[in-house]
Amino acid sequence: MAQINVLALDYGASSGRAIAGSYDGRSLSLRELHRFANEPVSMRGTLYWDLPRLYHEMKAGLVKAAADGGFASVGIDTWGVDFGLIDKAGKLLSLPVHYRDSRTDGILTKAYERIAREKLYELTGIQTMEINTAFQLLALAEQDPGLLQAADKLLLMPDLLAWLLTGADGAERSIASTTQLLDVRTGDWSEEVMQALGIDRRIFGAVVDSGQMRGPATADLLSELGIPAFDVVSVCGHDTQSAMAAVPAKQKDFIFISCGTWSLFGTELDEACAGEKAAALNLSNETGYDGKISFLKNITGLWLIQESRREWMREGQTFGFGALEEMARTAEPLRSFIDPDEPAFVPAGDVPERIREYCARTGQAKPESIAQIVRCIDESLALKYRRTLEEIQACTGRDYGVIHLVGGGAQSALLCRMTANACRIPVIAGPVEATVYGNCAVQLISRGELSGLAQARDLISASPDIKVYEPDPDAASAGAWDEAYGRFCRMLETK
C-alpha cells in the first residue's frame, strides 16, 4: 500500500509537539517536526494558558508538516479539565485559566453544600479534585458570573484548538469525561449535576465519540498558511486516553501508568466501576477509545521533579533529568517519603523546601541534598503506585501480572525499577511517545487504514524503545520494600 501520513498535535502541560506519523501497511513511524514550550502566564493574580502562542505554534507545526511530505489529517490531544468560553459572535471571551490557578481553592466545601459527594460520584464516577471543570465553573459563577452569562459555548482544550482550525464545535467524549459533568451511566451530560451546581447546560455542545471526523480545515486558514486541505479527526482528546490506546498490552487484565507531569495509574475495563468502594477510594472512570473505561487514579507525577529542577535552576544549579537520576541512584535508599498528592505540592515554587518541611512534619529524616530529594520523589511515586494497585485490585477483584508504564517516565530506568520492586510485578516501559502513537492510531482507524484497537496495539508493540524491568529476585530487596511500604502507609494515615 502507499504510505499515508497523519499529524499528531500533542499538547502537554509543559510542552507541545507536532509529530508526523507515517504508516506503510507494516509499521508506524514517528518524526518530530516541531517542539515548543507551553508556559502559563500570570496576569493580575490569575494564571492563564497562553492560547494565542499555542495556536501560533500549531500553525507553525502545520506548515512544517506540509513541507515534510504532507498529511491527510490532524488529531489534537491535550491535558484535561481546562476550557475556553466563546460568545455568540465567535470570539474568545477570556484566555483559558490554568488548572493550577488558585480560584478553586476551598471550592469543594461549597460544592458539597449543593450536592453530596457520594451523589456526585454516583452520577459521574470521577475522582474528585478541585481542578475538575465542574468546580472551575462553580468558582467562576461566584467570582465572575458575567463571563458565563456572555458565553455561548464552552470548549475543552482539544475541542477549542480543533474549533480554531475548523470552526466546528463539539465535545469529544474522552476529554468530556474529565469534567465531572458527564453521566457515567448514559455517557451524556448530567442535567442533575449541572442543576445542582448551577451550571448552564446550554453552553455545552453534543458529545462526540473518539475517532469521528470533526471537519475540514477552514479555507481562510489554508489560504493564510499556504498549505493543502486536510481533515481534523476527534482523536481521544485527553492525552491519557490517547496514551491508553497505545498501551502494547497482550493480555486483557493489565495495569497502565501514563507517566508524565501527572501519573495516571489504572486499568482498562469494559464497564464503569463506580460502586461504594471505588467512591471511598476516589477512583475515576474516564472514557477511552471505543467505549473502553480507564479505571484510574490521578497521581501527581513528574511535576515534582520538573518543578524541583526549576527551583534548582533559579538557584544557579542546572542539571538535566538524566544527571538528576544518576545523582539519586547514589543516595541512601528508602530513607524518607512524601505523599505526592499533598496539596502543598500543587503550586509552582520551592518544591524541595516543601518536601523537607513535609518530612520534618511527619517525623522523618529531612532529605537535604539534590540526590536525596530526587530519590525521595521517585521512591514515593513507586510506593504510591503500589497503594493504588491494591485499591484497584480491591475494586475489580482481579490480579494483574504486569504494569505497562508509558510516556516520559518510561525514560527513567530508576523509576521503572523502583516501581517493579515496590509492586513486585514486571514493568514494561514504553513507548515513550505513547500519546502520539495513540493519536496517530485513532486517525488511521478512522480513515480505515487499521481495523481497530487490537491491530493498533500490535503495531505499536514493535516500538524499539520498549524495555522490561523485573523485580529484584532476592528476598532482602522484597523485604526492604515491604517494610518501606508499611512506613509509607502509616505516614499517609497519620500525616
Residues taking part in catalysis: 239
CA dihedral 167, 170, 174, 179 (to 10 degrees): 110
* Distance in angstroms (rounded) separating the CA atoms of residues 469 and 419: 9
Write the CA distances from 408 to 137, 227, 320, 385, integer angstroms: 31, 32, 14, 16
* Distance in angstroms (rounded) separating the CA atoms of residues 383 and 389: 10
Nearest to 443 by CA among 66, 30, 7, 3: 7
**Which is it for strands 83-86 and 403-406: parallel, antiparallel or unpaired?**
unpaired
The number of helix segments (H) and strand segments (E) in the chain equals 19, 19
* Distance in angstroms (rounded) separating the CA atoms of residues 376 and 327: 12
CB atoms within 10 A of CB 204: 22
Point out which residues pair with 285 in neighbouring strands: 295
- Asked whether 335 and 383 are in contact (CB, 8 A), the reply is no
Point out which residues pair with 229 in neighbouring strands: none
Nearest to 420 by CA among 432, 405, 433: 405
